[in-house]
Every structure is written in C-alpha cells, then in structure tokens.
Amino acid sequence: MTGINRLPQIPLGCGGPAIGIQGLGCMGMSEFYGDTDETESLATLELALELGVTMFDTADVYGMGENERFLASFIQANRGRAVIATKFGYARTPERPDNWSLDNRPEFIRQAADNSLQRLGIEVIDLYYMHRRSTDVPLAESIGAMADLVAEGKVRALGLSAVGAQELREAHAVHPIAALQSEWSIFTRDIEAEIVPAAVNLGVTLVPYSPLGRGMLTGQTLAENLSAGDARSYFPRFSAENREANMRLVAKIEGIAAGQGVTSAQVAIAWLYAKAGELGAAVSPIPGTRSHRRLQENVAAASLALDQTAMAELEPLACEVAGIAI
C-alpha cells in the first residue's frame, strides 16, 4: 500500500491501552471546518487504523452528537483495535446550539456518559475527558463522578482537557489521569513551562490538539478561502488584521519544509515530537483531517527529524503570533 511505516505504539498514561504515537482528530468530519464528505472521512478512518493511528478523538459537543454517531459503526467494527476518546462538559444541545455553558456536576457527567455510549453504540468508552473545567463544581467532585464511571465499567481511562498544572495534580490525586489534551503547536506553547512538566511527573500522556494551528501552519488554510460556515472565520488568528503578520510566520515554516523536501504540515508535526522529546514528554498529537492523502502525510511526519537549525528558526514564532488562540 502506502510505503509508510506503521506508527510505533505507546501506553496511554501509566499502564493504559497501547495507542499510536499519533491519533486522529475527528471533529472536522462533522462540524466547524466547512463542508464534509462522509465517504472520504470513512476512508480516512480506515486508513488511519491500517497505519497504526489507533486513537480517535471526538466529543459529545462536536456536531451536538453527530460526530459520535458518525464514528459509531467504524468504532463498533473495530472494537479491540481502535481506542475511542470522547468528552463531556458543554451543555450545548441541538435544541440550544448556542449554549456553550459548562456543566461538571456529577449528575450531568453520568447522563453525558450514557448519552455518548448510546450514540457510539458501545459498552465502554476507552478514554473519557472532561472537555473544560467549570469552577462552579469542586474538581474532586467531578473527578469522583468520573471515577465512578470507571468502577461501573462504563469508562476505561480518564482524561482532562485544557486544565492547569495544579488542577491536573489535584485530579490525579483523586483518580489516575491517563491523558491531558491541550493545544500545543509551533504557534501555541503556553503549556510547556508548567503543565508539561506536571504531566511528565505524573506519567500522564499529552495529547496535543490543533497541532497544525487549525490548519494555519500548513500554509493551505487561508483566511480568505474559509467558507461562510467555517468557525475559523471568527478566530482572531485568522482575522483580516492579523492575517499578514501570521502569514509571514507561516512562510518561515514553508521555507524549512521546502529545504527538506517535505510539507509545512509535516514540519509542524515533527516539531511537536522534537519538542516533546526535549521535555521528556510522551505525546500522541491528534491532527484533524478528513482526507486520506493528508492523513498519510501527517503519519509520515512521525519519522521526520528536524535539525537544530530548523528548531532554532521555529523557536521564536509562538511569541510573534498575532491574535490569541481559541
């Protein structure tokens, strides 16, 4: 087939199931990034497994249940091979699509898990994340409810998304946390100072989301080409006023890519593995793609080494990005 080597596998957290060192972000297959093609998305899922991408990332909020429903038949057909990761935390529903309020109450968590299990058509969620922390509920109470799901056999491993180092430690003291999913890329590096060291110390696997800067780092997702329904039109880094400054930075990535005969997406992914290696962190980034060709490209980047000159050129870019990450 592709000539690409199957990805190496690592344990998820301390003693969790084996996962490929790259996962697949499935969000865009149902919402936020413009038109989707179900046939091509399904082909992407199938190829992912073949290449050793075993962790499939979704959330109940993506498409308000649609993304989980879309993945259901693929996950059911590949139980034992595919690791399904989903998330709870947003109160958004098809009846109230603009309700982005957070809910971390134990009763909400129990209901959300049952809803996700039903939509996915499976008995147990492999990795269940709190999507966002709500300070309205003591963290230990929410983690306690998540731990109950593990005890009941509805969930295998627990994860958190976008929490701080202290929250991660506090949660881990209640129940082992297998994975921390946070934004991490050449352009977004806030987690490196405190959060990555905390995760390393606790044996938590890092799952960098938006490793391609929501497409910006590839040089192919241009603000002026976003369709009307594309959520990125509203994101500061894609705004007209920040466009020029950010495209100058993307050009530097493109220059490195051209010098190595690879793509900018591959440089962005290879940078993450190199940076995680420097920090001693176990990572499984989850680039999102709906294209089997791009999936191949992204997987191939797992064996691409960037030299010190390239790493040094990429080092300052995060401080120069215009617009906050959303």
Ligand X SMILES: NC(=O)c1ccc[n+]([C@@H]2O[C@H](COP(=O)([O-])OP(=O)(O)OC[C@H]3O[C@@H](n4cnc5c(N)ncnc54)[C@H](OP(=O)(O)O)[C@@H]3O)[C@@H](O)[C@H]2O)c1
Which positions are catalytic? Answer: 62
Rounded Cα–Cα distance for residues 162 and 194 (Å): 13
Tell me the CA distances in angstroms from 289 to 39, 95, 110, 171, 272, one per residue in order: 13, 28, 30, 31, 17
Rounded to 5°, the CA angle 282-288-292 comes to: 110
Tell me the CA distances in angstroms from 84 to 28, 81, 127, one per residue in order: 16, 10, 6
Q: Which is nearer to ligand X, 142 or 218 (CB)?
A: 218
- Tell me the closest approach of the beta carbon of residue 173 to ligand X, in angstroms: 22
With b for 16 or more beta-carbon neighbours within 10 A and e for fewer, the 18-31 pattern comes to: ebbbbbbbbbbbbb
Stretch that binds ligand X, among 112-120, 216-224, 243-251, 311-319 (CB under 6 A): 216-224
Asked if 290 interacts with ligand X (CB under 6 A), we say yes
Q: Which is nearer to ligand X, 186 or 198 (CB)?
A: 186
Q: Which is nearer to ligand X, 15 or 234 (CB)?
A: 234
The answer to whether the beta carbons of residues 130 and 144 sit under 8 Å apart is no
Site for ligand X (CB under 6 A): which residue of 22, 205, 284, 298?
A: 298
The answer to whether the beta carbons of residues 125 and 86 sit under 8 Å apart is yes
Asked if 33 interacts with ligand X (CB under 6 A), we say yes
The pair of structure tokens assigned to 194 is 């405190």
Q: Which is nearer to ligand X, 225 or 308 (CB)?
A: 225
> Residue 128: helix, strand or coil by DSSP?
strand
The pair of structure tokens assigned to 73 is 């038949």
Asked if 26 interacts with ligand X (CB under 6 A), we say yes
Rounded Cα–Cα distance for residues 36 and 202 (Å): 38
Asked if 212 interacts with ligand X (CB under 6 A), we say yes
Site for ligand X (CB under 6 A): which residue of 209, 235, 238, 273?
A: 209
Q: Which is nearer to ligand X, 108 or 184 (CB)?
A: 184
Tell me the CA distances in angstroms from 125 to 114, 115, 118, one per residue in order: 10, 11, 11
The site map against ligand X for 175-194 (x = CB under 6 A) is ------x-------------
Asked if 214 interacts with ligand X (CB under 6 A), we say yes
The site map against ligand X for 233-272 (x = CB under 6 A) is --------------------------------x-------
> Residue 204: helix, strand or coil by DSSP?
coil
- Tell me the closest approach of the beta carbon of residue 150 to ligand X, in angstroms: 20
Q: Which is nearer to ligand X, 89 or 176 (CB)?
A: 89
- Tell me the closest approach of the beta carbon of residue 240 to ligand X, in angstroms: 19
Site for ligand X (CB under 6 A): which residue of 220, 239, 242, 260?
A: 220
Residue with tokens 């996950």: 75
Q: Which of 254, 189, 273 is nearest to 216 (CA)?
A: 254
The pair of structure tokens assigned to 42 is 């399904």
Site for ligand X (CB under 6 A): which residue of 13, 16, 25, 65?
A: 25
Asked if 134 interacts with ligand X (CB under 6 A), we say no
Q: Which is nearer to ligand X, 33 or 88 (CB)?
A: 33
Residue 320: count of CB within 10 angstroms of its CB: 12
> Residue 19: helix, strand or coil by DSSP?
strand
- Tell me the closest approach of the beta carbon of residue 104 to ligand X, in angstroms: 15
Residues that contact ligand X, how many (by CB under 6 A): 29
Stretch that binds ligand X, among 88-96, 137-145, 172-180, 213-221 (CB under 6 A): 213-221
Interface residues with ligand X (CB under 6 A)?
25-28, 33, 57, 161-162, 181, 209-215, 218, 220-221, 265, 286-291, 294, 297-298
